[in-house]
Structure formats: C-alpha cells, structure tokens
Amino acid sequence: MKKSKNLDDLIDALTMLPGVGKKSAQRMAYKILRSNKEKTLNLSRQLQKVLTDVVTCNICGIYLDKEDAEIQQSSSEHLCIGKNRDNSVICITESPADIYIIEENTNYNGDYFALKGTLSPLDGLGPEEIGILRLQNRLEKEDIKELILATSTTIEGEATAHYIQNICHELRIKVSRIAFGIPLNGELGYLDGETISHAFNERKEL
C-alpha cells in the first residue's frame, strides 16, 4: 500500500517525546491531521517559539522567556525567586524540570540551582559541562549557609551529589541530601508529590 512519507516522518519525530511509543505517536499524528488547521499551526508555532524564545536563568537555571532573562541579567538581585525567600539556602537539582516538581510539592522557601544533568565522564560530562563550576562561583561569591542536594538516587546522581558535597566541605557550607522515601535508581520526575515532599522534609545533614 502506498503510504505518506511525511506522515511517517512525523510519527518518527513524535517518538522523541517521553512515554510515546510508535502506537501513541501514530494516534497523535492522525489526530493532528484530523484537527482544525489553525490549531495545528498554533502547535507548530509554539514548538518553534520555545526553541527561539525560551532560555535559562544565568543564576538558577530555570526556564525564562528571553526578555525576562535579559531583565534578570541586568539586575543585581535574583528576580526568579521572590523577595521573601531565603537566598542563603540553595537547592541543587539535575534539571530545571525538577525545580518545578519541588516547588509544587514542598513548602521549600529558598533559592535553587539546576545542573545540566549529572556527572558522566564516559559521555564527556564533567563538572564544567553540567554547571558545577558555575555553582562553585555562586558559593564563593554569595553568602550561602546551606545547600540541599536534590539530585536523583541513580549512580550518576549520587556521584554528582558526592562531588558537590566535597566542595561544600572545603568551603565550610552545611550540606544536606534528600533521601528518605526516594527509591534507589529513582528519578524525581517519576515520583508522586507526597514521596518528594516527605523526602525533602526528612533530608539529613551530610
């Protein structure tokens, strides 16, 4: 049977999304074709826009629209977190997405720092590549009293936490690690809010 190559290419492209296998991708593609043309074009525009107009904050690493990031860059304060938050505590995550998960599920009231993944020397990801040097710079310049390590409990997540823990010990900064309730090899993105909330509140000093 003659098939549309463009449609097959769209299905292939959709399988890059998390949790989307070939069958789900096919359903999405058929839905896109059946949908109102304006809605589909809007989806396409939004996809392009996040690529061109969304950047990360140069202090904490959360996603910001370009214009807000520029305002942040020219400010002497960290505008991402409100004025009433404790900027002497920094919570370290391995992605901006994990910051949103913690923010939604805990009553944490400090500042954040998102790494770009975890240490993985075999993949060429060292301290500089994942942002640890930038973090170290922050720790040396700002008056930080405590660091909370919220990286995953995977081997790479643990190794990354351990590396940052050593830096904190050298700089005499109190450091704690979330642990309670998070299963080994667990990634924050797959856990329920209650587990994360509990893990966060039961963190222990290292």
User: Which residues make up the interface to Zn ion (CB under 5 A)?
Assistant: 57, 59-60, 80
- Give one DSSP letter per residue of 91-116, joined into a string: EEESSHHHHHHHHHHS---EEEEE-S
- How many Cα atoms occupy the beta-carbon half-sphere of 78 within 13 Å? 21
Minimum distance from residue 130 beta carbon to Zn ion (Å): 17
Minimum distance from residue 89 beta carbon to Zn ion (Å): 15
CB nearer to Zn ion: pick between 87 and 195: 87
CB nearer to Zn ion: pick between 11 and 62: 62
3-class DSSP state for residue 64?
A: strand
- Give one DSSP letter per residue of 144-201, joined into a string: --EEEE---SSHHHHHHHHHHHHHHHHTT-EEEE--TTPPTT--GGGS-HHHHHHHHH
CB nearer to Zn ion: pick between 88 and 166: 88
Pairing status of strand 110-114 against strand 86-93: parallel
CB nearer to Zn ion: pick between 14 and 148: 148
CB nearer to Zn ion: pick between 29 and 62: 62
Q: How much helix, strand and coil, in percent to the nearest 5, is found in the chain?
A: 50, 15, 35
Pairing status of strand 86-93 against strand 54-56: unpaired
Minimum distance from residue 114 beta carbon to Zn ion (Å): 9
Minimum distance from residue 60 beta carbon to Zn ion (Å): 3
Minimum distance from residue 109 beta carbon to Zn ion (Å): 15
